[in-house]
Amino acid sequence: MASAPNSKYNTRSLENESFKRASRDGVNRDLGEAVPRLPGETRITDKEVIYICPFNGPIKGRVYITNYRLYLRSLEMDSAPILDVPLGVISRIEKMGGATSRGENSYGLDITCKDMRNLRFALKQEGHSRRDMFEILTRYAFPLAHSLPIFAFLNEERFNMDGWMVYNPVEEYRRQGLPNHHWRITFINKCYELCDTYPALLVVPFRATDEDLKRVATFRSRNRIPVLSWIHPENKTVIVRCSQPLVGMSGKRNKDDEKYLDVIRETNRQISKLTIYDARPNVNAVANKATGGGYESDDAYHNTELFFLDIHNIHVMRESLKKVKDIVYPNVEESHWLSSLESTHWLEHIKLVLTGAIQVADKVSSGKSSVLVHCSDGWDRTAQLTSLAMLMLDSFYRSIEGFEILVQKEWISFGHKFASRIGHGDKNHADADRSPIFLQFIDCVWQMSKQFPTAFEFNERFLITILDHLYSCRFGTFLYNCESARERQKVTERTVSLWSLINSNKDTFRNPFYTKEINRVLYPVASMRHLELWVNYYIRWNPRIKQQPNPVEQRYMELLALRDEYIKRLEELQLTNSAKLSDSSTSPSSPSQMLPHVQTHF
Amino acid sequence: MHCHRHQSVRFMGKADLHQLQNLLHHRRPDATAEKFHFRNLLLGEHDVPLTCIEQIVTVNDHKRKQKVLGPNQKLKFNPTELIIYCKDFRIVRFRFDESGPESAKKVCLAIAHYSQPTDLQLLFAFEYVGKKYHNSANKVNGVPTGGGGGAGGGGSQKTPLFETYSDWDREIKRTGAAGWRVCSINEGYMVSTCLPEYFVVPSSLADQDLKTFSHSFVGRRMPLWCWSHANGSALVRMALIKDALQQRKVDQRVCNAITKSHPQRSDVYKSDLDKTLPNIQEIQAAFVKLKQLCVNEPFEETEEKWLSSLESARWLEYVRTFLKHSAELVYTLESKRISVVLQEEEGRDLSCVVASLVQVMLDPHFRTIPGFQSLIQKEWVMAGYQFLDRCNHLKRSEKESPLFLLFLDATWQLLQQHPAAFEFSETYLAVLGDSTRISLFGTFLFNSPHQRVKQSTEFAISKNIQLGDEKGLKFPSVWDWSLQFTAKDRTLFHNPLYIGRSMPRVQNGSVKPFKRTKVKAHLVLAHTPRNISLRTQHIESEAPSADDTASAGFEDPVLSRGLDRSLLFLLGTEAREALGSVESQRITAVTWEVPFLKPIHSASCSFWNQPAQIFF
């Protein structure tokens, strides 16, 4: 478009902003170097390069590499940095062209990132000039392959809030009213002996003994037995999660497992059948029998009803996101945008995940049945379904801290394999274990926040910040595959939590339209008519899509300030009214009677 | 998907004016508890204005017969079902299980008859306004508050209608357009029946020249000034020059005059819209496809291929084409500082869309509610956009085409891409679109201002209404939103994310041209799609329900206490009620000015699914 003012500012990454915030928190800013550094961040090298910006063309600049980030400044002007990319974002570094390649800017490095962009640098062809840059980048972007620590272990940032204190399982279960007559907390997995990918603390039916649990574990893939995720505060139906039963080709049965599921059903007397949602497509569930897995058959599990939710596996999701990147980066497919988008199937997958979660939430909310959710191992699709259903059912999880607890609980503690899915510090970019499952979950949350703009305390920036640090390796939050590994590595002692950053700057992440509603169940519309591509995330590197500074964010701050002012006035009102009330305490319609409720709103 | 009510239809007699008999009532029995507070004062949730009806189909299950009811047609069977297809994508179905066969037939024929009038003067607005004149005949100054148009969405500013010399003069001053003057040669529509009585032309062209030139233009539609940039470049629209012999000469003279009106005497860029944009038939065809897609059954089938079907309907593609072309003209005006002439055969269809979009993108004033309304008056109503034919109010036009809706959709796209730049919300745009289908307002009823005067004068004579000095009947204006919504509901027209307020500033008694401070050239472009829409819907559901004092309009207890009602959603429901007694001074919001807007990528052109949200 002719009228687009192509500004260098536009290509700044979001990372930049957290930078500026962090600098207030005491980042070392060495003026001589002109590279801001986090405490614990050290400079490794710098080099003159040409950054081949896909939007603004080649830019001459100096690239600085630290043990945390790649930072690019233009040589031509004294301006804001052009790039500020945490090395954790890098998934692949390739050399392009050879020493004898012809053509301008044909010799250099091509960097593929995990966050929907590529970076290309051209270097001088003389004297292997790219070799050391390639080696240093490889070393610090993939520290695991070089026996180096991930940056999170070197980060010495300090924050006002300690994010590691956010999630305390005992407290969270107590909030849910647990333990109660039907459900107990067990420490059988204290040393991760029952199941090494589960958390130490589990909630199980009161009537199931620890011996029962051990026997059930033998029949569930990777010992991931059915345990409680959430209980409805009124009707007491529950969401239970687990992995697939080890039925196998021969159709093996396990009396303990069958009995255990019946015990779960019986925790609620009104229920005649336990609903099982197998997240997979039917054929995949059948195919899993070949590798010893399977699903709960009607004849073995009498009081159950089984539904397949048709959500595809991690490989399908990875390929789908790849296609999304193909149509949005660097150029947005213009001529057949909608059909191209359709052919990525990304929104269709989002739709299926949301549809599944809605079914879980509806079943539980209606009180008709308790729900058991599993996929194959119960750490990808299962985590998506339980956490989204909980988000729909329980408004607590829609607050900033509530959401942190939800992620901490359903994803981190229950062993979503972040290390494998993201590949932190790992050079095997083609690893088949990588998959954007957590991103897909955050996308679903974003879709919900679009449909219910007043229901979430957090804003879009909160979600994008979480995704940025999913890759950045600045915080320990998403490192490792499970709680036992994190405990072995003493992650909470040796690293900083992402929630420390967020909770110390909460206002930046607040949605001014948030209205707290206690008992409202959210049912998003999971129709293609209402789902949309998250442009602000997937296409944010394109300067035509995302511009800085963002007037909406500015307006958010104004609205938050206004809200504070309104609240102040309310308090004044409360004072004048209580004064009046002491004069005439008989008025039944006095607003002061509402004020106790009012206060709960903020 | 369908409103499928097993209930006999309540249809009111034609004489029952007070009840707005042209509305079809079929209330749900349980509609007593109104869940949503936002509601139209003229129309119930399920009411359908007769001008909103597109097609009437009667069905007899037993005989398996089906018939589309045209005007003055006979019905040979007793209907068991009536299906009404509406222009707003609704499909309303009635069963006649409980009513007698004769009354069912009568109802169907009556709807067919009244919804398909044979003459413009049979539209409800005429009867309504006639009755008003009769009722007020005895009173002094009893003429209905016609054209004027009251407060836009709670604001106090009147919308200029551009019916008078002074409105145009003010617009010239507001934009600081030197070299342009108001021209009165069309007073009494002496030159052209499809031009307004007053319009703006280059100062260097004398009235006599204009009169002479006008014969060369289709419909005598000579160059009309739309707007001037602060840098002096002007936006002008005109019809084609049909006179081949005169073409070069007239063209030369006109272009020279426009150049002379430019402070830098810059060249003129001519944009031939007929060659660059889809034509009205193509736009109509795309709209029909879009509608089929949206109302299609079964749902799952359209769901599966939704995005590609949406693409092949081409509606969004056309919306984007208009936005893109307008953005290019914005660049010409803003950066190249060249005046732009929009040329189109008659100059009253595509030009309306493009002229309006260019101004919305360039001038923050048109992103306010009064500004946007004045823009519609200026570039649509007064410029002779043929609402009667294009909206097909009489249901027999082959010239139907949803250009106005296309403009609203394009504006909505801009609103999605620049959520902080518009004073109005998605709700406002949706309500405005709906209002084109209510034949009570004069605003969107006619093909030209002249047609209003001519038809209503004829009508007045036939009904013995004394018009006095007035030029035709004064129909209620759409801009008088208090006719449709309470003051409280009108707060939903306001966009809480709006940061720009750049109204004309009145200083020393005269209106200064609006200030155009550029904060930074590339300051404002952001894309937070769909944020506002759903929010307003939720505010609707959260709004306190018992507060009827606000409906009176002026006596808004919250406004009178200096709080911005449109921002009260910031507090919880109960807190908002408690606020009824908060004393405080007015909050002055921090305001920015937004320079100009650009539509961005196809990825940002999204489907305006609000109608779907309501009806699916």
Query: Is residue A32 less than 8 Å (CB to CB) from chain B?
Result: no
**Given a cut of 50, is residue B154 above it in pLDDT?**
no
| Best mutation target, B331, B498, B574, to test chain A (most A CBs within 10 A) | B574
**Given a cut of 70, is residue B7 above it in pLDDT?**
no
Q: Which residues in chain B are closer than 8 Å to A544, comparing Cβ atoms?
A: 525, 600-601
pLDDT of residue B504: 29
Query: Locate tokens 């599921």: which residue?
Result: A261
Cβ A545–B604 below 8 Å, yes or no?
yes
Average pLDDT over residues A38-42: 95
Do the Cβ atoms of B389 and B404 come closer than 8 Å? no
Cβ A551–B603 below 8 Å, yes or no?
no
pLDDT band at B568 (very low <50, low <70, confident <90, very high): low
Closest alpha carbon to B418 in A550, A578, A220: A550
Tens digits of residue pLDDT in B338-369: 999 999 999 999 999 999 999 999 999 999 99
Verify cis geometry, omega within 30 degrees of 0, for the bond prior to A81.
no
pLDDT of residue A201: 97
Instruction: State phi, psi for B181 to the nearest 5 degrees.
Output: -140, 160
- Amino acid found at B68: V
Of B474-478, B562-566, B605-609, the range with the highest mean pLDDT is: B474-478
Tens digits of residue pLDDT in A345-393: 999 999 999 999 999 999 999 999 999 999 999 999 999 999 999 999 9
Cβ A547–B526 below 8 Å, yes or no?
yes
Q: Which residues in chain B are closer than 8 Å to A569, comparing Cβ atoms?
A: 563, 579, 582, 584
How many CB pairs (< 8 A) connect A and B? 206
Choosing from A53, A113, A242, A375, the catalytic residue is: A375
Please name the residues between 309 and 338 in chain A that touch chain B, using a CB distance below 8 Å: 328, 332-338
Domain extent listing, chain B: 50-116, 165-278+314-493
How high is the mean pLDDT of chain A? 89
Provide the shortest C-alpha distance from residue B284 to chain A (in Å).
21
pLDDT of residue A35: 80
pLDDT band at B599 (very low <50, low <70, confident <90, very high): very low
Q: What is the distance between the alpha carbons of residues A265 and A262, in angstroms, rounded to a whole number?
A: 5
**Given a cut of 90, is residue A596 above it in pLDDT?**
no
Query: Is residue B542 less than 8 Å (CB to CB) from chain A?
Result: yes
Residue among A334, A336, A598 whose CB faces B578 most closely? A598
Cβ A551–B584 below 8 Å, yes or no?
no
**Given a cut of 60, is residue B152 above it in pLDDT?**
no
pLDDT band at B127 (very low <50, low <70, confident <90, very high): very high
Parallel/antiparallel/unpaired status of strands B505-507 and B510-512: antiparallel
Query: Is residue A566 less than 8 Å (CB to CB) from chain B?
Result: yes
Do the Cβ atoms of A566 and B571 come closer than 8 Å? yes
Is A113 an active-site residue?
no
Q: Which is the CATH superfamily of the domain at A169-448?
A: Protein tyrosine phosphatase superfamily (3.90.190.10)
**Given a cut of 80, is residue A5 above it in pLDDT?**
no
pLDDT band at A538 (very low <50, low <70, confident <90, very high): very high
Lowest mean pLDDT among A184-188, A422-426, B212-216, B551-555: B551-555
Q: What is the distance between the alpha carbons of residues B549 and B558, in angstroms, rounded to a whole number?
A: 10
Domain extent listing, chain A: 43-148, 169-448
- How much of chain A exceeds pLDDT 90, in percent? 76
Do the Cβ atoms of B532 and B425 come closer than 8 Å? yes
Query: Is residue B35 less than 8 Å (CB to CB) from chain A?
Result: no
Q: What is the distance between the alpha carbons of residues B355 and B353, in angstroms, rounded to a whole number?
A: 6
**Given a cut of 90, is residue B137 above it in pLDDT?**
no
| Best mutation target, B577, B581, B600, to test chain A (most A CBs within 10 A) | B600
**Given a cut of 60, is residue A18 above it in pLDDT?**
no
Query: Is residue B245 less than 8 Å (CB to CB) from chain A?
Result: no
Provide the shortest C-alpha distance from residue A496 to chain B (in Å).
31
Q: Which residues in chain A are closer than 8 Å to B530, comparing Cβ atoms?
A: 450, 532
Provide the shortest C-alpha distance from residue A548 to chain B (in Å).
7
Give the DSSP H/E element, type plus range, for residue B55: strand B53-60
Average pLDDT over residues A119-138: 90
How high is the mean pLDDT of chain B? 77
pLDDT of residue B99: 77
Parallel/antiparallel/unpaired status of strands B3-5 and B91-95: parallel
Closest alpha carbon to A257 in A245, A272, A243: A245
Q: Say how many C-beta atoms besides its own lie within 10 A of residue B80's C-beta.
A: 18
Where is pLDDT greater, at A177 or B19?
A177
Cβ B327–A3 below 8 Å, yes or no?
yes
Q: Say how many C-beta atoms besides its own lie within 10 A of residue B515's C-beta.
A: 12
pLDDT band at B32 (very low <50, low <70, confident <90, very high): very low
State both tokens at A79: 């301006």
Do the Cβ atoms of A40 and B555 come closer than 8 Å? no
Q: For the domain made up of A43-148, give the CATH fold.
A: PH-domain like (2.30.29)
Provide the shortest C-alpha distance from residue B128 to chain A (in Å).
39
Closest alpha carbon to A114 in A584, A576, A478: A478
